[in-house]
């Protein structure tokens, strides 16, 4: 018996991204980040877009691909503590709607950023590198893979 567990899911971390309003909240959060960066007087529009993209991708990388485990007490006997949030998402099933959304959203932000920075080479390189850091770990071939043993334990 697990005292303090008041949910019916084996791992509630797997369903949180499918909850009602999560995608809208996510999009509004990215929009608010961009508005805050645009309101800083000494940031130009291209710099604000690039910072929005880089901060968003850094946050996605940390929360989805670097941090392992779950904030909930789970009765799965420690299986979730070895997996990142991305690997736990939808119980590891590939190509679900939430996985597609969180794969497409940085791509859309990248296209918007590239357009508003007018494809400036410096911004373009920064934004492309930032996009690759969040897209490559999402590939199904890298599910559970720890490159060079990074984040193994």
Residue 26 three-state SS: helix
The b/e string for 8-32 (b: 16+ C-beta within 10 A; e otherwise) is eeebbbbbbbeeeeebeebeeebee
Count of structural domains, the chain:
1
Residue 77 lies in domain? 45-144
For the entire predicted model, the pTM comes to 0.87
Instruction: Kindly state whether residue 108 falls inside one of the protein's structural domains.
Output: yes
How far apart CA 59 and CA 41 sit, in angstroms, is 24
Instruction: Kindly state whether residue 24 falls inside one of the protein's structural domains.
Output: no
Torsion, Cα 136 141 145 151, to 10 degrees, reads 20
pLDDT at position 25 is: 94
What confidence tier does 18 reach under pLDDT thresholds 50, 70, 90?
confident
pLDDT in tens, 69-97: 777 777 777 777 788 888 888 877 888 88
The answer to whether 53 and 128 are in contact (CB under 8 A) is no
Selected residue with higher pLDDT from 85 and 125 = 125
């Amino acid at each position: 018996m697990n005292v303090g567990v008041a949910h019916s899911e084996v791992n509630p971390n797997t369903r949180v991204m499918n909850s009602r309003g999560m995608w809208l909240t996510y999009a509004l959060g990215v929009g608010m980040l961009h508005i805050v960066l645009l309101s800083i007087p000494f940031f130009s529009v291209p710099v604000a877009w690039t910072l929005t993209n880089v901060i968003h991708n850094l946050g996605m990388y940390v929360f989805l691909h670097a941090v392992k485990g779950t904030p909930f007490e789970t009765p799965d006997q420690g299986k979730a503590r070895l997996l990142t949030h991305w690997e736990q998402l939808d119980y590891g099933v590939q190509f679900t709607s939430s996985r597609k959304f969180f794969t497409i959203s940085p791509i859309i932000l990248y296209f918007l950023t590239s357009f508003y920075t007018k494809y400036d080479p410096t911004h373009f390189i920064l934004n492309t590198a930032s996009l690759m850091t969040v897209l490559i770990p999402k590939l199904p071939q890298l599910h559970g893979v720890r490159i060079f043993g990074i984040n193994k334990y």
